[in-house]
Amino acid sequence: MADTGFDAKDFRRALSQFPTGVTVITTLDAEGNPVGVTASSFNSVSIEPALVLWSIDKGAHSLEAFEKAEYFAVNVLGREQVATSNRFASRGEDKFKDVAYKSGLGNAPILDDYAAQFECKTWAVYEGGDHLILVGEVKGYRYNDATSPLVFARGSYAVSVQHPEMVKAPLMDEAGDFVGDYLLYLLRETYSRHSAKLYPKLQEQCDVNPEEWRIMVRLADKGNLSIADLSAMVMQPEVALRQTADWLVEKGYVAYADNATLTITEHGKEIGQKLQAIAHAEEAELLSALPEEQSRQLKDNLKALLEKMA
Ligand SMILES: Cc1cc2nc3c(=O)[nH]c(=O)nc-3n(C[C@H](O)[C@H](O)[C@H](O)COP(=O)(O)O)c2cc1C
């Protein structure tokens, strides 16, 4: 319990219900070395003057560099930049190794790949509890419409897709109707309708949210897995994965075999089986609309497509 009376982990969990984009904020330190940190606290502030803000943890290695920086750059990441996000969320190692970048305003590094980029002059630095709030005046910006932004919500990387309720296209293929016979649309509709039915059941019956479910199914299959392997499998950065894992540990579903490995408990195995049974039943209900042979073919065909794209 902190002084607030809040449980810090629970407070973080509540905050993580607010989805954000992901940025890598960069500058140069006093020695002229490039410095960068993954940040989801970025936000717009003002249009006239053009101001943006983000906040940095006072415990960050790069705190001093940003506190003193005259210029910094905000690189908003695109959906294909999960590895870049993970790289800049880590400590110690040379974060810029193998990352393509150029020198921008005030020599702050600007990444070659981005969804958007804002080159800023530090406008103000405010106290913000255990963080410092940095406000930048935007001196230049650019964006890349060819990529969609990387999203971060509930500790998981995500991509933004149109909300299914916004798409009022007819479901059936009608003559001349493009959307109703378009594979991407059909896949997405099937996914969103199915998951909207499944996830609440997992929550109600097993007290497991979608992020926890992804971890549970992997562990139920393998028994134990390293945090690093799981991180890639479930698309959670290690720091967030550990937070999700802590919830599962508290529920008694998983345990730490050592600091870097998670293992499923006996109780977790039972829950894992229950989760899989719920998912199978839901899948069977959906596929009962098709003859068995066609159901099998549907899955085999999707697998073949995924293999082709791997
Ligand atoms: C998706 C994501 C968002 C993050 N957002 C912030 C943030 O807004 N501010 C911050 O100080 N750290 C944030 N972090 C954590 C830092 O990236 C991490 O602590 C990093 O190690 C800091 O680097 P440094 O210690 O080399 O300065 C975030 C991490 C992730 C994975």
Please check the confidence at residue 69 and state whether its pLDDT lies above 80: yes
State how far the Cα of 126 lies from the Cα of 206, in Å rounded to an integer.
Answer: 43
Q: DSSP code of 163?
A: -
Same domain? For 172 and 254 the reply is: yes
Percent of the chain scored above 70 by pLDDT?
95
**22 ligand 1 Cβ < 6 A:** yes
Same domain? For 36 and 86 the reply is: yes
Same domain? For 14 and 140 the reply is: yes
- 7 alpha carbon – ligand 1 mean position (Å): 21
Span 103-119, average pLDDT? 97
Q: Work out the burial of residue 259: count CB atoms within 10 Å of its CB; fewer than 13 is exposed, 13-18 middle, 19 or more buried.
A: exposed
Average pLDDT, the chain: 93
- 38 alpha carbon – ligand 1 mean position (Å): 5
- Number of independent structural domains in the chain: 2
Please check the confidence at residue 1 and state whether its pLDDT lies above 70: no
Span 5-30, average pLDDT? 95
- CATH code where residue 267 lies: 1.10.10.10
**101 ligand 1 Cβ < 6 A:** no
Closest approach atom of ligand 1 to CA 63: 27
State how far the Cα of 221 lies from the Cα of 212, in Å rounded to an integer.
Answer: 14
Same domain? For 122 and 179 the reply is: no
- pLDDT in the model for residue 162: 76
Please check the confidence at residue 268 and state whether its pLDDT lies above 90: yes
- 57 alpha carbon – ligand 1 mean position (Å): 7
Whether the link from the prior residue into 109 is cis, omega within 30° of 0, is no
Q: Which helix (H) or strand (E) element contains residue 269?
A: helix 266-287
Same domain? For 147 and 176 the reply is: no
- Domain residues for the domain of 170 are 161-309
Model pTM?
Answer: 0.87
Q: Which of 119, 153, 187 is the last residue before a domain boundary? A: 153
HEC per residue, 170-224: CCCCCCCCCHHHCHHHHHHHHHHHHHHHHHHHHHHHHCCCHHHHHHHHHHHHHCE
Same domain? For 284 and 235 the reply is: yes
3-state secondary structure of 265: coil
**130 ligand 1 Cβ < 6 A:** no
2 inside domain: no
Span 161-172, average pLDDT? 64
Range of weakest confidence among 111-120, 155-164, 252-261, 287-296 = 155-164
291 inside domain: yes
Same domain? For 305 and 166 the reply is: yes
- CATH code where residue 15 lies: 2.30.110.10
- Give the Å distances, CA to CA, from 133 to 74, 108, 109, 186: 14, 19, 20, 44
- pLDDT in the model for residue 179: 74
- 55 alpha carbon – ligand 1 mean position (Å): 9
- pLDDT in the model for residue 175: 59
**231 ligand 1 Cβ < 6 A:** no
Same domain? For 47 and 113 the reply is: yes
Nearest to 113 by CA among 126, 124, 100, 103: 100
